[in-house]
Amino acid sequence: MQTTAGEVAFHELIDADEKIEPRDWMPDGYRKTLIRQIAQHAHSEVIGMQPEANWITRAPTLQRKMTLIAKVQDEAGHGLYLYSAAETLGISRDEMQQLLHEGKQKYSSIFNYPTLSWADMGTIGWLVDGAAIVNQIALQRTSYGPYARAMVKICKEESFHARQGYSILLALSRGTDEQRAMLQDSINRWWWPALMMFGPHDSDSANTPQSIEWKIKRVTNDELRQLYIDQTVPQAHYLGCTVPDPDLDFDVETGHWSIGAINWDEFWDTVKGNGRLNRERITHKVKAWDDGAWVRDAATAYAHKQQTKLEKTA
Amino acid sequence: MNTATVTTPLARYVVRLADDNLILGQRLAEYISEAPELEEDLAIGNLSLDHIGVAMHLYEYAATLGDSSTTADKLSFLRTEREFTNVLLVEQPHAGFGDVIARQFFFSAYQTLLWEALASSADTILAGISAKALKESTYHLRHAASWVVRLGDGTDESHDRMQAAIDSLWRFTGELFESDDLCAEMVISGAGTDPAALQVPWDTKVAAVLREATLTRPTDPYQATGGRTGMHTEHLGYMLAEMQWMQRTYPDMEW
């Protein structure tokens, strides 16, 4: 097979650690991998609105309510931004939404877990957004330009969310016995799912080697997970809490925390659609989309009428 | 002693204004993640945040008046249905986007006029809050009115749905312009305004938008009333049960 000039240029850019831009030649596999990954990322932001919207109407103070609304709004904004980044690869937002609704594109499994107490609003900010940040900081150096730039912008807001989340938990940790119990219960429920957010072990991750070679992925799943564990365990202890892992151990020599075995059956069950709320999340999304069809149709029809009027008067 | 009360006339007036905003903000918050497209989820979130933000400022101000020992959160989370004095329009639930827009359109058309009048209140703090809120409600009205027009003059289906939403909420618009003793007292002190004076400009504005939207201005003479005296529809109790659940279940805690 002959090597084209475009292909040579692509590899030169990758080797030189420079960015691939929408008009550059790129291998089909590179394009497909990016569409899959960016769309999944966008869908995660959008589906991720649901577990938090679940507590907006019940937030305990006006200030917490407003902060939570603003956070959910940021997620909608991130979704828009990421859909735009994916659209530079030649797929439309509507197509991606359709694929999501049909289960052909995924979103982060973490959002299939239910939010069962107010403490979960803190835990999601701290553990879930915290994990997303570790992942996204690495992605700021990803080889595809529009994705890398989106990550820079999104990381700033996510850091803010993580701090807000931790502040909810700090308030609980300084509160009553009931509040501290609520806090510990929340950490118990979210700790393992948060660790699973980094994906399967490197040895079981089919996409990792090629993605590393293309510099879409700059750091492996296990490396990111370890980084996250090391920074997060002390934060849990600072809250006066434990993480639900009897095998958790600190290795003085390496300076790393080691964890017990992750329940990968639960992970794969959730990925395959049998998590706690997979069906509910998609049903909610599809219903909102279907219920809004008449509105979107009306907007299109109105715009068309206005255009026709303009043309007549021109 | 119930510390979720205010006593002075000015404080009661300010709380009344705040109640309208909190209850509408809460209704809008219910709709986040259910909008027809992501851009509208963002817009609905903005509306909700603006209304709750204004409510918080107003409650905080009311809490400083008289010898009250209340707070914005106590006023929001520890009063009963009978103690809330919002108009009935803002507590009405929505079955879909048409209702959300019709409710917002009617209310924002009223609120732009209200804030405009209150921006020159003799009470400088209320004037300041109103001037800021006027900028926000001007945007709210533009957003809602543009949807009324697009839905009214969009497809046959959207025209019918928008007309139905306008028709069903029309009976809650008259209450916006009701005067009472408290309003009269506020007019005399110079702090407040007479809502009755806002009705004609409101009607003019609303009629113009409905006309552009090819919709019919309802003529239903029946108008509901009662919100200002705590005689609500049955919807408010459920909303408060949800909104106040944390504070009622875990009293006297810091969050």
Going residue by residue through chain A (314 aa), what tens digit of pLDDT does each one get?
568 999 999 999 999 999 999 999 999 999 999 999 999 999 999 999 999 999 999 999 999 999 999 999 999 999 999 999 999 999 999 999 999 999 999 999 999 999 999 999 999 999 999 999 999 999 999 999 999 999 999 998 999 999 999 999 999 999 999 999 999 999 999 999 999 999 999 999 877 889 999 999 989 999 999 999 999 999 999 999 999 999 999 999 999 999 999 999 999 999 999 999 999 999 999 999 999 999 999 999 999 999 999 998 87
Q: How far is B43 from chain A (nearest CA, A)?
A: 9
Instruction: Compute CA A230 distance to the chain's CA centroid, rounded to the nearest angstrom.
Output: 20
> Which amino acid is located at B180 in the chain?
D
Q: How far is A107 from chain B (nearest CA, A)?
A: 16
Distance CA A97, CA A288 (A): 12
Whether B247 and A60 lie within 8 Å, measured CB to CB: yes
The pLDDT of residue A249 is 97
CA distances from B103 to A167, A269, B97, B108, B111 (A): 35, 43, 10, 8, 12
Residues in chain A: 314
Distance CA A262, CA A247 (A): 11
Ordered by where they begin, the domains of chain B are 9-216+230-249 (1.20.1260.10)
Task: Give the mean pLDDT of B228-232.
Answer: 98
The pLDDT of residue A207 is 76
User: Does the pLDDT of residue B201 top 90, yes or no?
Assistant: yes
Q: Give the residue among B223, B189, B219 at the shortest CA–CA distance from B65.
A: B189
Tell whether B236 is within 8 A of chain A (Cβ). no
The pLDDT of residue B2 is 60
Whether B150 and A57 lie within 8 Å, measured CB to CB: no
Q: How far is B21 from chain A (nearest CA, A)?
A: 12
User: Does the pLDDT of residue B67 top 80, yes or no?
Assistant: no
Closest chain A residue to B38, measured at CA: A76
Give A281's Cβ-side CA count (13 Å radius): 30
Tell whether A219 is within 8 A of chain B (Cβ). no
The pLDDT of residue A1 is 59
> Which amino acid is located at A237 in the chain?
H
B87 exposure class (CB count in 10 Å sphere: 0-12, 13-18, 19+): buried
Whether B52 and A50 lie within 8 Å, measured CB to CB: no
The beta-carbon neighbor of A56 closest among B32, B36, B38 is B32
Please report residues of B whose CB lies closer than 8 A to that of A59. Answer: 246
Whether A291 and B30 lie within 8 Å, measured CB to CB: no
Closest chain A residue to B48, measured at CA: A69
The pLDDT of residue A132 is 96
The beta-carbon neighbor of B255 closest among A69, A171, A301 is A171
Whether A73 and B247 lie within 8 Å, measured CB to CB: no
Whether B255 and A292 lie within 8 Å, measured CB to CB: no
pTM (2 d.p.): 0.96
Whether A298 and B155 lie within 8 Å, measured CB to CB: yes
Whether B149 and A49 lie within 8 Å, measured CB to CB: no
The helix or strand, by DSSP H or E, that contains position B58, with its residue range, turns out to be: helix B38-64
Distance CA B165, CA B167 (A): 5
Whether B32 and A63 lie within 8 Å, measured CB to CB: no
Residue-averaged pLDDT of chain B: 97
Q: How confident is the model at residue B229 (pLDDT cuts 50, 70, 90)?
A: very high
The beta-carbon neighbor of B73 closest among A56, A62, A70 is A62
- What residues 108-127 of chain B have any CB closer than 8 A to a CB of chain A? none
The beta-carbon neighbor of B38 closest among A64, A79, A287 is A79
Distance CA A224, CA A229 (A): 9
Residue-wise pLDDT for B156-178, tens only, equals: 999 999 999 999 999 999 999 99
**Phi, psi of A20, rounded to the nearest 5 degrees:** -85, 135
**Phi, psi of A258, rounded to the nearest 5 degrees:** -115, 145
The helix or strand, by DSSP H or E, that contains position A87, with its residue range, turns out to be: helix A62-87
Q: How confident is the model at residue B66 (pLDDT cuts 50, 70, 90)?
A: confident
The pLDDT of residue A59 is 98
Q: How confident is the model at residue B4 (pLDDT cuts 50, 70, 90)?
A: confident
- What residues 50-89 of chain A have any CB closer than 8 A to a CB of chain B? 50, 53, 56-66, 69-70, 72-73, 76-77, 79-80, 83
Residue-wise pLDDT for B114-138, tens only, equals: 999 999 999 999 999 999 999 999 9
- ipTM of this predicted complex? 0.97
Residue-wise pLDDT for A55-81, tens only, equals: 999 999 999 999 999 999 999 999 999
Q: How far is A195 from chain B (nearest CA, A)?
A: 26
Query: Is the CB of residue B255 less than 8 Å from the CB of residue A171?
Result: yes
Please report residues of A whose CB lies closer than 8 A to that of B35. Answer: 288, 292
The beta-carbon neighbor of B158 closest among A65, A77, A298 is A298
Q: How confident is the model at residue B1 (pLDDT cuts 50, 70, 90)?
A: very low
The beta-carbon neighbor of A302 closest among B29, B36, B150 is B150
The helix or strand, by DSSP H or E, that contains position A256, with its residue range, turns out to be: strand A256-258
Please report residues of A whose CB lies closer than 8 A to that of B49. Answer: 66, 69-70, 73
DSSP character at residue B217:
P
> Which amino acid is located at B132 in the chain?
K
In the block, tokens 């209850």 appear at B23
Give B162's Cβ-side CA count (13 Å radius): 32
Q: Give the residue among A171, A210, A189, A139 at the shortest CA–CA distance from A67.
A: A171
Q: Give the residue among B140, B210, B199, B209 at the shortest CA–CA distance from B174.
A: B199
The pLDDT of residue A219 is 92
Please report residues of B whose CB lies closer than 8 A to that of A294. Answer: 155, 157-158, 161
Distance CA B198, CA B106 (A): 13
